[in-house]
Amino acid sequence: MNFDYNEEQQLLADSVRRFLSKDYEFEKRRKLVASAEGWSPQVYAQLAEMGVTGIPFSTDHGGFGGGAVDLMGVMEAFGDALIVEPYLPTVLAGRLIARAGNDAQKKAILPGVVEGKVRLALAHTEKGARYNPAWVQAKAVRSANGWELSGEKCVVLGAPMAETLVVSARTDKGVSLFVVPRDAAGVSLKAYRTVDEMRAADVVLKSVKVGSDALLGADGTAIPLIEEATDFATALICSEAVGAIKFACDTTLEYLKTRKQFGVPIGTFQALQHRIVDMYISYEQAKSMACLAASKADTASDASERARSVSAAKIKIADACRHVSQEAIQLHGGMGMSEELKVSHTFRRLTMIAQQFGDADHHLARFAALG
């Protein structure tokens, strides 16, 4: 039993945190998200330089062969700094390529991902799917030279910055995955900013022609792969949530100590003391569950053990995201409502994490179904 990060994990987390506290402090981030692109290729390149993009990929492609636990400290730092760069979408789609792809596909894409030159996005969710991974109505039909894809995907995170999309579509054998260049003929994007200031797009595929080498893994076998990759990404956002929750707790505590009303710091009021104590209890429990999610994402003996642990974690994390973000705003009073304070942006990210990859109810149903 050991809950510490090892030396490498700690060093990486520290250097990412140091870099972000300097180059990604709140005012810089504000300018960045307000810019036309809405993200910083330089920051992304820096993260790649530090090795962050290589961690979860095999040494065969220049990566470090790490897992979710190796990324916990980094994700916490991302949550603290409210990173908007498309790291998570790239890892999510990249994991599908790494696990389902053949050698040629992996060699073609993953080295660029590791170097930070290629970004990916998973075009999977459709309107009407809610959190059901098996709801796919986009179609892929065999053609003379490969496949023809048609359908509509919504809220594809990172799509505007991605060079390559991994697209789920239904064939006559079931749900399958395809590698599709974002600029392929017939692919069109409606890009927008998300509530948590990231960039996403609705993606329309109109008779998009791809070669037979675009099929990722065996035809019709995508659902368990998508579930696995989504569980991995869920474990990562659990740690991202922990970083954001910690910031929300700490900044609120600081506020309680400095903000004066009735001639005294408001932190002297027991009504507020008990509430911030409960916020920190939520933080500690979130941290524990993030440890569980990451370690089971890496080492679970089977899919149901992994799914059960990740869902249990996401239930608590979703609860903690809502509880801490709501209380942080309330305890800041009117100031908490202001767009000028970082905590209001943390609120927006935590609100979205609570629902990303399934809200508490979704995961409660999944958890209960697994006994």
Output 268 or 330, the one with its CB closest to another protein.
268
Q: Measuring CA to CA, which residue among 63, 55, 35 is closest to residue 160?
A: 35
Based on the shown chain and the rule CB under 8 A, indicate whether residue 248 belongs to the binding site for another protein. Answer: no
- For residues 16 and 80, is the Cβ–Cβ distance under 8 A? no
Closest distance to another protein from the beta carbon of 82 (Å): 24
- Quick check: 277 binds another protein (CB under 8 A)? yes
Q: Which of 20, 33, 72, 162 binds another protein (CB under 8 A)?
A: 72
Answer for which of 13, 69, 84, 236 binds another protein (CB under 8 A) is 69
Number of residues interacting with another protein: please give it, by CB under 8 A.
38
55 binds another protein (CB under 8 A): no
Q: With contacts defined by CB under 8 A, name the span among 130-138, 157-165, 229-237, 265-273 that binds another protein.
A: 265-273
Residue matched to tokens 């979860």: 56
Please report whether residue 103 would count as binding another protein according to CB under 8 A: no
- Give the list of residues 6+ apart from residue 257 with CB closer than 8 angstroms, or none: 265, 267
- Choose the stretch contacting another protein; rule: CB under 8 A; options: 22-30, 45-53, 309-317, 344-352: 309-317
HSE-CB for 278 with a 13 A CA cutoff: 17
Beta strands in 187-294 (DSSP E): 187-193, 199-211, 215-216, 260-261, 264-265
Choice from 92, 162, 235, 291 touching another protein (CB under 8 A): 291
Strand bridging mode 164-171 / 120-123: parallel
Considering only 118, 123, 198, 276, the residue that binds another protein (CB under 8 A) is: 276
Beta-carbon neighbour count of residue 25 at 10 Å? 12
Q: Is 300 in the site for another protein (CB under 8 A)?
A: no
Interface with another protein (CB under 8 A), residue from 45, 48, 253, 300: 253
285 binds another protein (CB under 8 A): yes
Are 312 and 342 in contact by the 8 Å Cβ rule? The answer is no
132 near another protein, rule: CB under 8 A: no
Tell me how many degrees the CA angle 184-52-10 measures, rounded to the nearest 5.
Answer: 160
For another protein, the binding residue among 4, 27, 183, 339 (CB under 8 A) is 4
Cβ neighbors of 327 (< 8 A, separation 6 or more) are 252, 275, 276, 278, 279
Chain Cα centroid distance, residue 141: 31
51 neighbors 87 (Cβ within 8 angstroms): no
Which of 295, 326 has the CB closer to another protein?
Answer: 295
The yes or no reply on residue 151 touching another protein (CB under 8 A) is no
Provide the minimum distance between the beta carbon of 279 and another protein in the complex, in angstroms, as a whole number.
10
Question: At its nearest, how many Å lie between another protein and the CB of residue 139?
Answer: 33
Q: Of 197, 236, 242, which Cα lies nearest the Cα of 87?
A: 236
In whole angstroms, what separates CA 256 from the centre of its chain? Answer: 31
> Which residue lies nearer to another protein by CB, 95 or 296?
296
Which listed range, 163-171, 216-224, 277-285, 340-348, lies at the site for another protein (CB under 8 A)? Answer: 277-285
Q: Is 267 in the site for another protein (CB under 8 A)?
A: yes
| Between 121 and 315, CB nearer to another protein | 315
64 near 117, Cβ under 8 Å?
Answer: no
Residues 6+ apart with CB under 8 A from 2: none
Report which residue type is found at 111.
Answer: P
Q: Which residues would be at the binding site for another protein (CB under 8 A)? A: 1-6, 9, 69, 72, 253, 256-257, 267-268, 270, 273-274, 276-278, 280-281, 284-285, 287-289, 291-292, 294-295, 312, 315-316, 364-365, 367-368
